[in-house]
């Protein structure tokens, strides 16, 4: 996790005490001290995640955390998802990237409000950064909050953001053994999306093998294959969102496999 990978706390809208602790303690980074720092960072994040979850429950907002490598098509998928959902519920998007507000601007062009969190050298969003966004007026009514995490299948997997659903996206231009290489991202996710199926005829990605690999890590994970470009499989994704949202409204729990 970040205390080891060198991810620093330069998220523009907040300072994370945990990262400061990691930096200072890395000066004398014995294994015992690193484990201690990691534990402290996780405990602090978990406390913020509980606050986020409580705030979302108070407004009846369902939140979905999207994880993937860079370039798997998270933003394109979100744009098409928003087009399909607009009018059915209030929508809001939090975008995480190291730099630029390009993705938030792409979302805003659909008419849906979006905020951009730039993490600087940081490689993930944390619950504290999400908590800071929850006063946005667009989140005052029950609705759907999509959080596009920083493109990275390692560190984001370790940070609960207080979401109700977590989705791991792997595109067909990657390897179908990726679930085995990055198991934590799959283990903590409710749904695996295999994206860019319009490109499947041109690559050697085996969708069935990828799903099988994912279920070796997380036997209960749901799986969908889709293309935001040609619309293939999109309805199943929209249906999954609506089912998960409905279950959350009914029971306050996330959709189980
Ligand atoms: Mg993006």
Q: Could you read off the pLDDT of 76-121 as tens digits, one per residue?
A: 999 999 999 999 999 999 999 999 999 999 999 999 999 999 999 9
What is the CA(116)–ligand 1 centre distance, in A?
A: 11
Q: Helices 17-26 and 31-59: crossing angle, nearest 10°?
A: 170
Question: What is the distance in A from the centroid of ligand 1 to the CA of 78?
Answer: 9
Query: How far is ligand 1, taken at its centre, from the CA of residue 131, in Å?
Result: 21
Query: 3-state class of 29 per DSSP?
Result: coil
Q: What is the pLDDT of residue 39?
A: 87
Q: How far is the CA of 104 from the centre of ligand 1 (A)?
A: 9
> Where do the domains of the chain lie, and which CATH numbers do they carry?
2-251 (3.40.50.300)
Under 8 Å between Cβ of 145 and 56: yes
* Distance from chain centroid for Cα 228: 17
The yes-or-no verdict on residue 29 having pLDDT over 70 is: no
User: Distance, CA 253 to ligand 1 centroid (Å)?
Assistant: 27
Tokens of 119: 């993490």
Instruction: Tell me the mean pLDDT in the region 187-197.
Output: 98
Using pLDDT thresholds of 50, 70 and 90, give the confidence band for residue 250. confident
3-class SS of residue 142: coil
For the record, the structure tokens of 95 come out as 């975008």
Of 5-14, 41-50, 62-71, 224-233, the poorest mean pLDDT is in 5-14
CA of 51 to the centre of ligand 1 (A): 26
SS percent in the chain: helix, strand, coil, step 5: 45, 15, 40
Q: What is the pLDDT of residue 13?
A: 45
pTM of the model: 0.88
Distance 200 CA to ligand 1 centre (A): 21
């Amino acid at each position: 996790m970040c205390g080891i990978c060198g991810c620093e706390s330069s998220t523009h809208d907040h300072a994370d005490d945990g990262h400061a602790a990691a930096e200072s303690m890395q000066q004398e980074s014995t294994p015992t001290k690193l484990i201690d720092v990691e534990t402290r960072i996780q405990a602090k994040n978990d406390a913020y995640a509980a606050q986020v979850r409580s705030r979302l429950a108070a407004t009846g907002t369902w939140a979905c955390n999207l994880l993937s490598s860079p370039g798997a098509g998270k933003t394109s998928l979100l744009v098409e998802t928003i087009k399909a959902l607009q009018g059915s519920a209030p929508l809001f998007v939090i975008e995480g990237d190291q730099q630029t507000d390009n993705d938030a601007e792409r979302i805003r062009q659909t008419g849906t409000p979006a905020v951009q969190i730039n993490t600087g050298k940081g490689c993930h969003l944390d619950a504290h950064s999400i908590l800071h966004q929850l006063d946005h007026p667009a989140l005052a009514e029950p609705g759907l909050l999509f959080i596009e995490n920083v493109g990275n299948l390692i560190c984001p997997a370790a940070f609960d953001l207080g979401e109700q659903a977590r989705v791991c996206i792997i595109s067909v231009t990657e390897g179908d053994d990726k679930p085995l290489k990055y198991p934590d991202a799959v283990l903590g996710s409710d749904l695996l999306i295999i994206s860019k199926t319009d490109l499947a005829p041109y690559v050697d990605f085996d969708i069935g093998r990828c799903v099988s690999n994912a279920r070796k890590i997380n036997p209960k994970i749901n799986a969908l294959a889709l293309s935001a470009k040609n619309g293939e499989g999109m309805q199943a994704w929209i249906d999954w969102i609506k089912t998960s949202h409905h279950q959350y409204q009914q029971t306050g729990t996330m959709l189980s496999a």
